[in-house]
Amino acid sequence: MNAGRAKLRHGAEFSESVEHRARRISAALLFVLAAYVVVSAAYGLWRREGQEFSTPGLVLTILAIPVMWWLARAKMRVANQIGSRALRADAVESITCGYLSGVVVLGLIAQLFMPGWWWVDSAASLAIVILLIKEAREAWEGEESE
């Protein structure tokens, strides 16, 4: 009976350790994504260039929005059921991909109809960075911040 408890206790500690490591990796990826978005947007603004229009790219980006929304909801539901902050951080990455896809779609459409609006995509992308950093900090701090 003691051996069973030791296994259970060791398993719980292992799970917490894996959860902590996965949460930190997800947080780091969110920080990297935020940095990428900032650099990409800054580069676009500096070069005074928007996204290049392509019909297949527009269709694929439009399709990505509901797929990312569905995937994020499923991940969030499971994360809440099992109490996984790592999976929650991963769900936020999916949500962010959906938002970024929406920004790209709006930017492409704006540029198609208003060619002088090259800056729309970069400006909107920068607004998403706030969400990325907030979620990355929460994922990084985890239990300590609650």
- What whole-number distance in Å separates Cα of residue 48 and Cα of residue 123? 12
Q: What is the pLDDT of residue 144?
A: 46
Q: What is the pLDDT of residue 134?
A: 84
Q: What is the pLDDT of residue 145?
A: 42
The DSSP secondary-structure symbol of 143 reads G
How many domains does the structure of the chain reveal?
Answer: 1
Token output for 91: 């769900």
Q: Which domain holds residue 53?
A: 2-145
- What whole-number distance in Å separates Cα of residue 46 and Cα of residue 41? 8
Token output for 143: 């239990």
Q: What is the pLDDT along the chain (146 residues), one digit of tens a residue?
A: 444 443 444 455 547 777 788 888 888 988 998 999 899 889 989 998 876 777 887 888 899 999 999 999 999 999 899 888 788 888 888 888 888 888 878 877 877 788 788 888 788 788 888 888 988 898 788 754 44
C-alpha 29 chain-centroid distance: 8
**Length in residues, the chain:** 146
Q: What is the pLDDT of residue 76?
A: 93
User: 3-state DSSP call for residue 42?
Assistant: helix
**Residues of 116-128 as b/e, b for ≥16 C-beta within 10 angstroms?**
eebbbbbebbbeb
Q: What is the pLDDT of residue 143?
A: 52
Helix (H) or strand (E) holding 145: none
